[in-house]
Amino acid sequence: MGEPRLVSRPSLDETDIKIIGILQEEPRTTYLQLSRDCKVSIDSVRRRYERLRKEGIVVREILALIPKAMGFDSLSWLGIVTDPGKENQVLESLQAKREILLSFVEIGKYNIRSLLGIEHINDLANYVDSLKKTPYINDVDVMIWSDIERMAYPKNLMIEPFHGTLDEVPRIEPDFSEPRTSSTSLANEPIQKDNLPLSKMCPSMDKTDEAILNILIHNARIPFSNIAKQLGISTKTVICRYRKLRKKWVWYSTLAINLRKIGYAGYVSYNIKVSSKTWVSDVFDRLIKIPNIIVALKMIGPYNINALAPFSSAQQLMKTHASISAIPGVERIDEQIGDSMHVWPTR
């Protein structure tokens, strides 16, 4: 590991923030449309976006496929309790398991939170039972994702203008321009290197559809004309197929933002128990209106809802907690604090 250094925090003005916000909603927005919306020249928009990429604020343009397209019948959070001080050994064991897509070390009720992808929901119980036999794992709680139609809320991410070169309170940290996490991501890294056999998992998808999606997974902003040239088909064909694919197979498309570069120190995962199941939808709808709630999921298990929010200070953390607590129907909130999710979304 290299010598620690001061993390630079790039300057951001209102126009930069507006560009990020528009592209979070639709990363394929053209420079022409961005220039109109931001009331600056096309050259200015292009330079600004290239700078946001170069300085590591924007890490990549993401297109995420629905779990079925990735071969998963079920996704679940696993809350894992380990022996004290044995988190790294457990992480190493989890890295070797194909079904574990992400793992984060956190502080709270659980030492580790993992994302589990299962091909057949009927195999879930047996898999978790086998996982509990892993050395140093004492207990595992399963929280099944029951509704992923609405999951990512990038527009909730609060980005404040910043003028300067360093954080107001300088921190000694390694470089975070790329993810430095205590997590493993089998759903992320292979996508960057290999094409997914989507047509095998999705019979209604042909090889051309598969090729288009695999290109967009690498870069959600690549021009349709470039895709057409790579595949030897017309641009019109690519556009028509993309529109159909997006409706059926695309989970969400947005920008991956380096949270450290915009002033955030870590994140909180809120596990929320609702007093009555009839209140879940109402609590959820109120929750996703709270600033910085960037992920929200309905779940089946010991909790009804899980939400993620980055924080930059203790005051901000307390404010978000108070906002959630004030929602009618919230019975209990268990918080997990982590700092390993530096880039969001991971995929």
Enter the pTM of the model.
Answer: 0.85
CA distance 220 to 255: 9
Q: Are 103 and 97 in contact (CB under 8 A)?
A: no
Q: Does the structure show a pLDDT above 90 at 182?
A: no
What average pLDDT does this structure show over 184-192? 33
Please, which residues bridge with residue 255 across strands? 61
Secondary structure of residue 292 in the 3-state scheme: coil
- Asked if residue 175 has pLDDT above 70, the reply is no
More confident residue, 87 or 163: 87
- Looking at residue 148, what is its pLDDT? 81
Query: Residue 59 corresponds to which tokens in the numbers above?
Result: 């890490």
pLDDT of residue 189: 35
In this prediction, residues 100-114 reach a mean pLDDT of 95
**Residue 216 confidence (pLDDT) above 60:** yes
Say if residue 324's pLDDT is above 60. Answer: yes
Rounded Cα distance, 327 and 321, in Å: 10
Half-sphere exposure of residue 12: CA atoms within 13 angstroms, side-chain side: 27
Whole-number Å distance between alpha carbons of 97 and 95: 6
The CA-CA-CA angle for residues 49, 52, 58, to 5°, reads: 105
Question: Comparing C-alpha atoms, which of 297, 332, 320 is closest to residue 158?
Answer: 320
Of 150, 144, 138, nearest to 116 by C-alpha is: 144
Domain residue spans in the chain?
12-55, 67-147, 189-251, 258-344
Name the residue type at position 117: G
CATH code of the domain made up of 258-344: 3.30.70.920
pLDDT value at position 340? Answer: 83
- Fold of the CATH domain 12-55: Arc Repressor Mutant, subunit A (1.10.10)
Cα-based distances in Å from 156 to 90, 159, 189, 287, 308? 33, 9, 26, 11, 11
The more confident residue out of 203 and 39 is: 39
Gap between the terminal Cα atoms of the chain: 26
67-147 with 258-344: one CATH topology? yes
Query: pLDDT category, 194, cuts 50, 70, 90?
Result: low
**Alpha carbon distance 51, 38 (integer Å):** 16
179 — pLDDT class (breaks 50, 70, 90): very low
pLDDT of residue 165: 53
CB count within 10 Å of CB 66 equals 15
Residues 300-317 have pLDDT tens digits of 999 999 999 999 999 999
Per-residue pLDDT at 203: 79
CA distance 54 to 31: 17
Helix (H, G, I), strand (E, B) or coil at 171: coil
**Confidence tier at 346 by pLDDT (50, 70, 90):** confident
- For all residues of the chain together, what is the average pLDDT? 88
User: Does CATH place domain 67-147 in 3.30.70.920?
Assistant: yes
Other C-beta atoms lying within 10 Å of the C-beta of residue 25: 12
How far, in Å, are 81, 90, 92, 194, 207 from residue 136 at the CA level? 9, 7, 11, 33, 44
Nearest CA to 276 out of 325, 326, 328 is that of 328
How far apart, in whole angstroms, are the C-alpha atoms of residue 319 and residue 314? 9
CATH of domain 189-251: 1.10.10.10
